[in-house]
Amino acid sequence: MQHRQTPVVGWEGVKAVIFDVDGTLYDQSKLRKKMLFDLLSYYAKHPWRYKELSMLSEFRNERENRAGFGCPDLDNAQYTWCAEKRGYPVHKLKSIVQQWIFQRPIRYLAGCVYPGASELFKVLRQNNIRIAIYSDYPAHDKLMAMGLTADLLVSSTDPEINQLKPDPKGLLYAVDQLGLSAAECLFIGDRQEMDGECALRAGVPYLIIDKKPYSQFDFYSKLIDDITSKTQQYETQRIAF
């Protein structure tokens, strides 16, 4: 059954917006095209290392296949899953994943940030709405590369969480750290089956971004207009009464 995203009850009631990162704050398909060129260029010059491409693919597949999984020390366990299944040395797999999934993509992120994302962050701050991040992957370096800042960063692999989406543990932790109720927060993600389901389980209102080509992406500009108009209406009514 397809769940619909929960409606937002007036921006005057929203005290924090919690963002997913990958595919939500930047265009993942655009980044992947850049990374594909980078990967092919690198391994064309290092053909004896082609097996590393399979290692990267297996790591991603294992992550996807374990949606909602939790265990102690998840940050290290995610490498052990794949290494033990395929017979890879853990240290070798971790080194390759760190290079190609966590480090090298950073250089391209500034050119992949969705239009309006930076402006939305500014509008939220102007309206005293706090900003938090909840992602399955660590996001500090990604935010820096995108020129964005948040009041709170939470990752599924943090020792306090150790639980992948769509389990709501990480999202509920973020809400608690903000000192707010679930109803006072809004979660924005890009995947209904992961972010939307996570929000539903946590009882947090949420939105799933409209999937459009980068040049046509207007989700955040529409959100800015919505915030501006609703907060102006609220202020006008407050003054009137």
What residue numbers bound the domain in which 88 lies? 30-108
* pLDDT tens string 174-209: 999 999 999 999 999 999 999 999 999 999 999 999
- Rounded Cα–Cα distance for residues 108 and 30 (Å): 9
The CATH number of the domain where 128 resides is what? 3.40.50.1000
- Asked if 167 and 81 sit in the same domain, the reply is no
* pLDDT tens string 30-60: 999 999 999 999 999 999 998 899 899 999 9
* pLDDT tens string 59-111: 998 888 999 999 999 999 999 988 888 888 999 999 999 999 999 999 999 99
Model confidence pTM above 0.75: yes
Here the contacts of 82-90 (C-beta below 8 Å, separation 24 or greater) are: 82/55, 82/58, 85/58, 86/55, 86/58, 88/55, 88/58
Share of the chain above pLDDT 90, in %: 77
Q: Is the dihedral of CA 218, 223, 228, 234 positive or negative?
A: positive
Categorize the per-residue pLDDT at 2 as very low, low, confident or very high, splitting at 50, 70 and 90. Answer: very low
Residue 3 lies in a domain: no
Confidence at residue 228, expressed as pLDDT on a 0 to 100 scale: 86
Cis preceding-peptide flag for 166 (omega within 30 of 0): yes
Examine the pLDDT at 233 and tell me if it is beyond 70.
no
Residue 5 lies in a domain: no
Q: What is the mean pLDDT of residues 1-11?
A: 50
Q: Which of 87, 108, 129 is the last residue of a domain?
A: 108
Total count of domains within the chain: 2
Closest residue by Cα to residue 153 from 180, 128, 124, 131: 131
Confidence at residue 232, expressed as pLDDT on a 0 to 100 scale: 62
The arrangement of strands across the sheet holding 16-19 comes to 152-155, 130-135, 16-19, 185-189, 206-208
